[in-house]
Amino acid sequence: MILYGASGHGKVVRDILMSQRIKVKAFFDDNANLTQFESLSVFRYQPELYINEEVIISIGNNLIRKNLSNLVQHEFGIGIHISAIIGSNVIIDKGTVVMQGAIVQSSVKVGAHVILNTASTVDHDCVLEDFVHVSPNATLCGNVIVGEGSHIGAGAAVIPNIKIGKWCTIGAGSVVINDIPDYAVVVGNPARIIRLNSIH
């Protein structure tokens, strides 16, 4: 496996893969001055380099992951830490990582290049679209839908049957009790919209 993104998030993704006994052979990174990270070689991305290896984009920023996913010509892998709990009938798409202690309950659908961070919980029948990031200790109750690119902040809670639009930001510790429109930034308990994101 090759990781694209030699940073702190890359360290965590490497640990996830090590728990699965998957060897990370090198990193790709756009910083031309970076040649070594975590004792591994770092290269600028080249489609012909490690062509038979799968890649995970190990960058926390949702928009950067989306942009890079359109450029990378390698196949994408999946990383699930052995301490994560994955229920029955769960679908997890390419490029996604599930970190230490995360819980994904029955019949959840997780899109491509999603981050389910440390000790996050996703309950039954949720749908997470591509490039979503669920931060540490955040909780999605049953039947929640999270649109493309949205970020659920650390410790946030979303009650059942809520729909969160695309490219939203749910502030850390927020409690979401109403549907959230596309591009909204929400904070508080109960969560309220404070502005709209500029990502369109």
Structure tokens at 69: 């996913």
Q: How far apart are CA 139 and CA 153, in angstroms?
A: 10
DSSP letter string over 29-51? -S-TT--EETTEEEE---TTTTT
User: Does 30 belong to an annotated binding site?
Assistant: yes
According to the annotation, is 155 in a ligand binding site?
no
* 151 in a known ligand binding site: no
Annotated binding residue 60: yes
- Write down the catalytic residue from 74, 81, 113, 124: 124
Please confirm, yes or no, whether 81 is among the known catalytic residues.
no
123 among annotated binding-site residues: no
> In this structure, are residues 133 and 151 in contact, taking their beta carbons and an 8 Å threshold?
yes
Is 7 known as a binding-site position? yes
b (16+ CB within 10 A) / e for 150-182: bbbbbbbbbbeebebbbbbbbbebbbbeeebeb
9 labelled binding-site residue: yes
Q: Which residues are catalytic?
A: 124
Q: Which residues are annotated as a binding site?
A: 7-9, 29-30, 60, 133
Q: Which residues are annotated as a binding site for substrate?
A: 7-9, 29-30, 60
Q: Which residues are annotated as a binding site for acetyl-CoA?
A: 133
